[in-house]
Structure 1
Amino acid sequence: MARTIAKDHDQKRDQILKSAAKVFATQGFDRASMALLARECGISKANIYHYYDSKDALLFDLLETYLRELRDRICHIEISDLSEEAQLRAVVAEILMAYQGADYEHQVQIGAMSALPEDQQQLLRGYQRDLVKFVEAIICAAAPEVFDGKRETLRATTMSVFGMLNWYYMWNSGAGSDARESYATLVVNLTLGGLKAL
């Protein structure tokens, strides 16, 4: 007889993913064990195996959930009625807001993705590429004359914006919403001001 899914299955799964992100980020993926993960979650080792048959499966679900939800949150933001500059401001601010409270997930993405099989890494990189392409198109629309025929310049500019956002995550991870909004404005002003000088 098939085991029925508990009513709080999704809630427990989310708790496991949050706890695993903390363990993988602070202890390192290689040093983490299912016993340690279960302890951090406050459940038995047998119970964690009810959800995941290995820490590799847990790592993949953690990153797949985090990156897919991040991509969907940013790429589905409603900006069609905004000017190109306002679109860029809205998207940069939304990225910083999405990073809020996801420090451990972000660290695991950077430090542990390479532990997964290549096909799983390709799927996760696809989510990252979707997000980069979305932001890239908005940056290009903000100054099309600058990027006409300059694909590499557009790519470098886009990745520089992400670099500024990731710098903020690394050094100001505890910042609140107001501080993130303020820094988003700074990033966009630097980017748009810099575009005029290219």
Structure 2
Amino acid sequence: MARTKAATHDQQRQAILDMAAKLFADKGFHATSMSQLAAACGVSKPLLYHYAKDKAEMLFSVADSYMDTLEALVDTVEAEQLPPDAHLKRLIARFLETYANAHNQHRVLVQDVRHLDDAPRQQVADKERAVVAAFARAIAAVEPRVSEKGLDKVVAMILFGMMNWTFTWLRANGPLTYEDMAPLVTGILLNGVHGTLGAASKKTNNAPG
């Protein structure tokens, strides 16, 4: 007879995954053992295996569920049907807000997903590409020339380069918050794109015929 899942199973599994994310973020995936995870969670090692078959499954669950959160965030902002400028600004602000409140999960995503086997790593990567594509569309809606020049995804990746590594230097008790970062990142991106493409277009138009 199949074992009945306890009413608290999902909550306890999430608590274990949250602790796994913290240890992976602090110590690194390979430096974290199942024994350390069990001790940190206050459960026995055999019980830990009731929630995940191994450490890699925990890593995948942390990264994949975090990507689900980010994809859902894209959908939520798109459902607001804002004008292009406001839409892009809202996307950037909401993503940075999420990064601030999911610090461990974000570090795991950018640092440790490479340790997964091909199939689970590809599943996470497919969701990352979908999010990048959504940002590329948002950027192109504000500045169509990036799409005309085939630079929409390139500019989206530059944007994520600004946002994704803030955890390495932006401190919770520092003078600058994630909320402060949103308009700064948006301004650097848009002013840079408008200025660069505008200058390139002017140069082309002024070229001798």
Provide closer, same or farther for how the CA distance between residues 175 and 159 of structure 1 changes in structure 2, counting only shifts above 3 A. farther
Provide closer, same or farther for how the CA distance between residues 90 and 175 of structure 1 changes in structure 2, counting only shifts above 3 A. farther
Provide closer, same or farther for how the CA distance between residues 94 and 118 of structure 1 changes in structure 2, counting only shifts above 3 A. same
Tell me which residue corresponds to 2:83.
83
Q: 1:94-120 CA deviation, whole Å, 9 max, x = no partner? A: 100111232221222222212211111
Provide closer, same or farther for how the CA distance between residues 52 and 118 of structure 1 changes in structure 2, counting only shifts above 3 A. same
The answer on whether the counterparts of 1:136 and 1:158 sit within 8 Å (CA) in structure 2 is yes
Of 84-93 and 96-105, deviating more is 96-105
The answer on whether the counterparts of 2:78 and 2:87 sit within 8 Å (CA) in structure 1 is no
Tell me which residue corresponds to 2:115.
115
Q: RMSD value over aligned CA atoms?
A: 1.9
Among all aligned residue pairs of Structure 1 and Structure 2, give the percentage whose two residues are the same amino acid. Answer: 34
Tell me which residue corresponds to 1:95.
95
Secondary structure class of the residue paired with 2:177? helix
Q: How many residues are treated as equivalent by the alignment? A: 195
1:157 aligned onto 2:148: no
Tell me which residue corresponds to 2:205.
none
Gaps of 5+ in 1: none
| Distance of 1:34 and 1:3 partners within structure 2 | 23
Secondary structure class of the residue paired with 1:130? helix
Q: Which has the higher contact order (CA 8 A, sep 6+)?
A: 1
The answer on whether the counterparts of 1:52 and 1:58 sit within 8 Å (CA) in structure 2 is yes
Task: List aligned pairs for 1:27-176, cutoff 5 A.
Answer: 27-78=27-78, 80-144=80-144, 146-151=145-150, 153-174=151-172
TM-score of the superposed pair, with normalisation by structure 1: 0.90
Secondary structure class of the residue paired with 2:139? helix
TM-score of the superposed pair, with normalisation by structure 2: 0.86
Gaps of 5+ in 2: 197-209
Letter in 2 for 1:120: P
| Distance of 1:89 and 1:4 partners within structure 2 | 46
| Distance of 1:16 and 1:81 partners within structure 2 | 37
* Cα offset, 1:132, TM superposition: 0.3
